[in-house]
């Protein structure tokens, strides 16, 4: 190990193919990984809606295979939509792409065709990779003496130390864990996102906070979906994605934006956030990729 026995653990969620934010965060982590061991946990919805969806997805898979640091990629509802679409195509079912496309999947599908030269074998390998993504991850670290659980939408009522559920499992549980929303009429009796025994970190529902995250005290979960899906769809200006570092008893959260900037830094301790000092924040800003040239993000108008 480069940095000894300690592995720094980072999380982001719901990038939705917004390449500028993605490459800002990855460049920052690349610089840290030169001197320290790190693991990145991606909490689902890596693609769809953003024009660089396929590029971002293929970059993550390539990094997992040959990258400078470890990546644990968890499935979200958009990964499930992609998997279900390709399963229907294998069976030659009519209109297999409809639901995925209604949720912004067209840009990912077309992008994979372009980047992989319409190579069906290579595209199916990507779909197969998605099918094996796990649904949640339980950390050893704790917040307020409660183990931290990372999941896209809803914390399971029973959390195993090692998750066995994958996107490909034909299970109602998988559906709820990646699709449920707080108080949603579509999920009667199953709308509680948190679990009283755990501190949950979720994404899935854009929070529109300038910090990119919101704490729900009633359900005891932290929502880290900063709104890239809205930004990519042209419906909002929010592109503030928090990069969460998991520490014992607290979280360290940096907020990145579309212009290769770290715009905020906070420590999340039980029930509240504490701003980082300017000195701390400026040290992290020096780890950004100074050669980064933000791309012009074109916004698309697709149904949410």
3.60.21.10, 3.40.50.150, 3.30.1330.30, 3.30.420.10: CATH of 7-285: 3.60.21.10
b (16+ CB within 10 A) / e for 75-86: bbbbbbbbbbbb
User: Position of tokens 């990519």?
Assistant: 232
Torsion angle in degrees (nearest 10) through CA of 15, 286, 71, 58: 50
pTM: 0.93
- What digits encode the pLDDT tens for the residues 23-56? 999 999 999 999 999 999 999 999 999 999 999 9
How large is the C-alpha radius of gyration of the chain? Answer: 18
Phi/psi at 11 (5° precision): -135, 135
Burial (CB count within 10 angstroms: exposed 0-12, middle 13-18, buried 19+), residue 73: buried
Residue 27, token pair as written in the block: 């460049």
Provide the mean pLDDT of the chain.
90
Structural domain boundaries in the chain: 7-285
Asked whether the predicted pLDDT for residue 150 surpasses 90, the reply is yes
Residues 6 or more apart whose Cβ sits within 8 Å of residue 87: none
- What digits encode the pLDDT tens for the residues 263-274? 999 999 998 999
CB neighbourhood size of 263 (10 A): 15
Residue 166, token pair as written in the block: 């994958």
Length of the chain: 304
Per-residue pLDDT, 282: 96
Asked whether the predicted pLDDT for residue 219 surpasses 60, the reply is yes
Residues 6 or more apart whose Cβ sits within 8 Å of residue 294: 20, 258, 259, 260
């Amino acid at each position: 190990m480069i940095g000894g026995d300690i592995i720094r653990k980072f999380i982001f969620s719901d990038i939705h193919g917004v390449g500028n934010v993605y490459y800002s965060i990855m460049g920052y982590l690349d610089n840290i990984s030169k001197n320290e061991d790190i693991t990145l946990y991606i909490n689902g919805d890596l693609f769809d809606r953003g024009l660089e969806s396929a590029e971002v997805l293929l970059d993550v898979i390539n990094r997992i295979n040959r990258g400078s640091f470890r990546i644990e990629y968890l499935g979200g509802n958009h990964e499930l939509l992609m998997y279900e679409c390709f399963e229907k195509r294998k069976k030659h079912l009519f209109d297999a792409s409809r639901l995925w496309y209604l949720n912004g999947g067209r840009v990912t599908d077309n992008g994979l065709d372009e980047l992989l030269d319409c190579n069906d074998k290579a595209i199916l390998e990507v779909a197969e990779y998605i099918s094996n993504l796990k649904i949640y991850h339980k950390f050893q670290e704790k917040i307020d003496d409660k183990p931290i659980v990372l999941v896209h939408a809803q914390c399971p009522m029973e959390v195993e130390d090692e998750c066995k559920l994958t996107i490909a499992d034909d299970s109602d549980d998988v559906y709820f864990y990646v699709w449920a929303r707080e108080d949603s009429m579509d999920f009667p009796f199953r709308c509680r996102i948190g679990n009283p025994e755990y501190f949950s970190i979720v994404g899935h529902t854009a929070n529109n906070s300038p910090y990119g995250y919101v704490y729900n005290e009633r359900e005891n979960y932290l929502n880290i979906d900063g709104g890239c899906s809205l930004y990519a769809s042209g419906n909002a200006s929010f592109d503030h994605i928090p990069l969460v570092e998991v520490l014992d008893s607290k979280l360290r959260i940096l907020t990145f934006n579309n212009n290769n900037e770290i715009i905020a830094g906070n420590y999340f301790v039980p029930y509240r956030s504490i701003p980082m000092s300017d000195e701390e924040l400026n040290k992290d800003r020096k780890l950004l990729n100074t050669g980064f040239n933000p791309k012009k993000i074109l916004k698309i108008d697709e149904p949410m």
